[in-house]
Structure 1
Amino acid sequence: MGLLLGTSPAALAHPHGWVDMSVEGVFDDQGNLTALRQRWRMDPFYSQVVMEEMATVKDGTSMAQRLDALGVEIRNNLATQHNLTNITLDGQPVAQGEVTDTNTDYRDDRLVYEFVLPLSTPQRLAGHTLSYRIFDPTYYIEMVHEANEDGSQPLPDALKLDHPPAGCTTRIVKATPDPQKVMEAAMLDKGDSGEPNLGRFFAETGEIACPG
C-alpha cells in the first residue's frame, strides 16, 4: 500500500486500495482533548496479499510476532508523514506527539492497525472546533470513515468521543472534490504521480466541537 506499508504501487491505478477507518477523541479528566485513537482496516485484497507473504516467512517466528513486526514497520513509515493525519483547531495547525499503543491484527479477512495519536499539548475545546483529515498524499490509498453498505452514511462509531465534556458533538464531512481532480486521479496509472498532496482533495473531515 505504497507509503503506508512501504510497498511499491507500480502498475496499479489510483486509488488501488482503500482503508476503512474509525476515530475516537480521547479526553482527560480536565476536559481537554489529548489524543485521537484510530483504527484502520485495510481492504480484503491487500490484506490477503500481505498475509500470504508473511505466511511464507521461514524464520521460526509466529504469525503474531510477524504481525507485531508489521505494525512497527507501519508505525515507522507513517511517522515520516505525520501519520497521514492533519489536525487543526479553529483552522490553526495542531502539533502531534509520538504514536503509542499500536496493535496489528487480522480479523474478518482484514488487516487491522490500531494506534493512539497524542496531541503534543492537550487542547481545551470549550467554544472551539477541532478538525482532522486523514489521507494518503499520493491517493494510492483511499481512506474513508467506516460507513454503511452503500457508503452514503458514516457509521455512528466512525467518530466517537471518550469521556468528553457535556455537550460536545461530532460530525464527518464528506469530501467534494472538483471534477477535474477526480478525472486527474482516475487517469493516473502505473508509476504515474499526480500533483503533491492529491489525496487531500478526497479526504473526509472529522470535526469535534464543544460548547463554550
Structure 2
Amino acid sequence: MRLLAAVALLCLAAAPVRAHPHVWVSVECEFRIDAQGRVLALAQRWTYDPMYSSYALYGLPKGEDGSYAPAGVAKLLAALKPPLEQARYFTTAKIDGAETALAAPPDAAVRVAGDGRIILSFSQPLAAPMERRKELRIEVRDVEYFVDFQFSKEAFGAVSPPTEGCAAMLSDGAPPAGADPVAVMKALIDGPVQTLASAVTLRCR
C-alpha cells in the first residue's frame, strides 16, 4: 500500500491542479551521437529526493547485506512506469523550434544509491536522427509543479561520444534580458507555475 501511495504522487503530477512541489528530481542528460554526428537519442538519469525515495521504498524487501532485493526494485519500476509513460516522462524535445516525438524508453531501470535515493535511468530515441547544423532543445518539467525537475549543473548535457562541433548549453529559465516585468508576472499568474522553464540546448555545427 505504501508503494502504491508513493507512486500516486507521480500520478497526481499530471492532474489539472495548481500545486507546490512534493517531489524533487535532479536530472542528468546525455545526447547520443552516431559516427556521422547525428543525434540519435536522449538518455536521462533522474535522482529523486531522499524523502520521496524513503517513502517509495518503505516496506520493500532487503537482502542479507541490507540492499534492496531485485524483485522489490522491479516492482517499484513496474509501478512507476505507467504514470511516467502517460506523462511522456515529462520531457519535451524541439528541433529548430518544432516539437519532435520521442519514443517510449526501451530500457528504463531503477536502482537505489548508497545514500538511499532512487535513481531512474532511461533513453528516448528520436523519431528520426537529427542532422548536424540543427538545434535540439530539451525541457523536463511538470507544468503543475507537483514534481520539481532541476537539471544537474555538473551533468546537464553530456555528448556521447564527445563529438567535435557539438556542445550543450543550460538555460536557467530566467526571463530574457529586457523582458517587460509586468508581462512576465502576468504570465506566471495566468499560466502554469513553470511558465519560465529551464532547458538544455544541443547545437552541432
User: Hey, what's the Cα distance between the residues in 2 that align with 1:41 and 1:128?
Assistant: 29
Match of 1:100 in 2: 106
Unaligned stretches of 5+ residues in structure 2: 1-5, 63-67, 176-183
| Secondary structure class of the residue paired with 1:100 | coil
Q: 1:130-209, aligned counterparts within 5 Å?
A: 130-146=136-152, 154-155=153-154, 157-176=155-174, 178-179=184-185, 198=192, 200-209=194-203
Q: Which amino acid aligns with 1:167?
A: G
TM-score, with structure 2 as normaliser: 0.78
CA shift for structure 1 position 48 = 0.8
CA shift for structure 1 position 100 = 1.6
RMSD: 2.8
Q: 1:61-100, aligned counterparts within 5 Å?
A: 63-100=69-106
CA shift for structure 1 position 63 = 2.8
TM-score, with structure 1 as normaliser: 0.76
Match of 2:41 in 1: 35
CA shift for structure 1 position 81 = 1.8
**Deviation digits for residues 96-119 of structure 1 (CA, Å, limit 9, x no counterpart):** 112121110111221110001111
User: Hey, what's the Cα distance between the residues in 1 that align with 2:97 and 2:21?
Assistant: 28
Unaligned stretches of 5+ residues in structure 1: 57-61, 147-153, 185-193
Match of 1:122 in 2: 129
Match of 1:112 in 2: 119
**Deviation digits for residues 10-38 of structure 1 (CA, Å, limit 9, x no counterpart):** 9x950122100100000122221111110
How many residues end up aligned between the 2 structures?
184
Identity of aligned residues (%): 24
User: Hey, what's the Cα distance between the residues in 2 that align with 1:88 and 1:9?
Assistant: 21
CA shift for structure 1 position 52 = 1.3
| Secondary structure class of the residue paired with 2:20 | coil
**Deviation digits for residues 14-73 of structure 1 (CA, Å, limit 9, x no counterpart):** 0122100100000122221111110001111111111114359xxxxx732121222233
